Amino acid sequence: MAPELAKTIAAIREHVERARKSGRSVGLVPTMGALHAGHAALMDCARRECGYVVATIFVNPIQFNHASDYHAYTIDLACDLDFCAAQSVDVVFAPDAAEMYPVPQSTFVEVTGVSDHLCGKFRPGHFRGVATVVAKLFHIVAADRAYFGEKDAQQLAVIQRMVADLNLPVAIIPVPTVREADGLALSSRNRRLSPEQRRIAPVVFRALDAARARIRAGTTDAGKVKDAALEILNAEPTVRLEYLEVVDDSGMQPVEEIRGPVRIAAAVWLGATRLIDNVFFTPSSH
């Protein structure tokens, strides 16, 4: 069945209120549209765990560093609505920018520390924009549970920290990264890759996986672990590395010695397309 479509804050609040009155728990899947199987995994978890599933489709202007990147982020709402229908989403909240930001925003949520490295270092203001819009969505939708992919591990950590620090009454549910058969993490940006770039792109996961294998083999020196990934990435001259880092899983701070759960995370450019990915390792996971 096609989901309901709410374009205004008042309308989505009414839908959610009605669902609550009928005793249903509310699950929220925030997205920027251009939906793919990674989003389907989030919606699927929400569907299994909640009586009422809200997906949001909003390309958030304040989380883009460059206007050109924002304008490149085109979505096809009709196509995304069909996608949500196939995932049995109950209602889609798809406001326009004027609905979310009727006047220029003066209040921002800044999550320090956890935002400082990885993408935060290379995309100044990005996580401030993400945390601010997600906080707004949490207040608008008032969901019981909200679903975020581990592919954006730093985003997930930022949101978890925001929820803890601000005592927001929503449970954050991490959902594992969905990959293509060749290891490429699903992302809306993958559709911007040329066929040749698409062929090369799985090198990112191969490199991260090799680094993780080095930890499994007993290496605890993060520098040596990164070398395993660099050997593979450097063999692809068209891949431009933005960062490769080993960070502790909750604080997202770079570590030199691996003693607890870590993420090995990378951002690369293939032509004009930026791809990020990460893998998790915990000493008890091998």
Active site residues: 39
Quickly tell me which residue has 């989403």 as its tokens.
89
Which is closer to ligand PAF, CB of 126 or CB of 214?
126
Which one, 137 or 264, has the nearer CB to ligand PAF? 137
**Token pair of 268, please?**
């690369």
Q: Closer to ligand PAF by CB, 57 or 184: give it.
A: 57
- Smallest CA-to-CA distance from 258 within 231, 235, 279 is with 279
CA separation for the pair 43, 269 (Å, rounded): 29
Query: Cβ 130 to ligand PAF, closest distance in Å?
Result: 5
How far, in Å, CA of 98 to CA of 179, rounded?
A: 35
Give me the least distance between CB of 271 and ligand PAF, in Å please.
22
Q: How far is CA 191 from CA 89, 221, 273, in A?
A: 24, 36, 10
Nearest distance from C-beta of residue 62 to ligand PAF, angstroms? 9
3-state secondary structure of 83: helix
Question: Taking the CA of residue 13 as centre, how many other CA atoms within 13 Å lie in the half-sphere pointing to its CB?
Answer: 8
Nearer to ligand PAF by C-beta: 32 or 213? 32
Residues in the chain: 286
Which amino acid type is present at position 110? Answer: E
- Nearer to ligand PAF (CB atom), residue 120 or residue 225: 120
CB of 168 to ligand PAF, least distance (A): 14
Binding site for ligand PAF (CB under 6 A): 30-32, 60, 63, 130, 133-134, 152, 155
| Separation of alpha carbons 127 and 114, rounded Å | 10
Q: Report the residue number, 144 or 152, with the smaller CB distance to ligand PAF.
A: 152
Report the distance separating Cα 274 and Cα 267, nearest Å.
7
CB of 166: closest distance to ligand PAF in angstroms? 16
- What's phi and psi for 22, nearest 5 deg? -85, 10
For residues 278 and 153, the answer to whether their CB atoms sit within 8 Å is yes
Give the start-end residues of each E strand in 142-211. Answer: 145-149, 171-175
Three-state secondary structure call for residue 91: strand
Strand ranges across the sheet with 145-149:
4-6, 91-93, 52-57, 26-31, 145-149, 171-175
CB of 147 to ligand PAF, least distance (A): 10
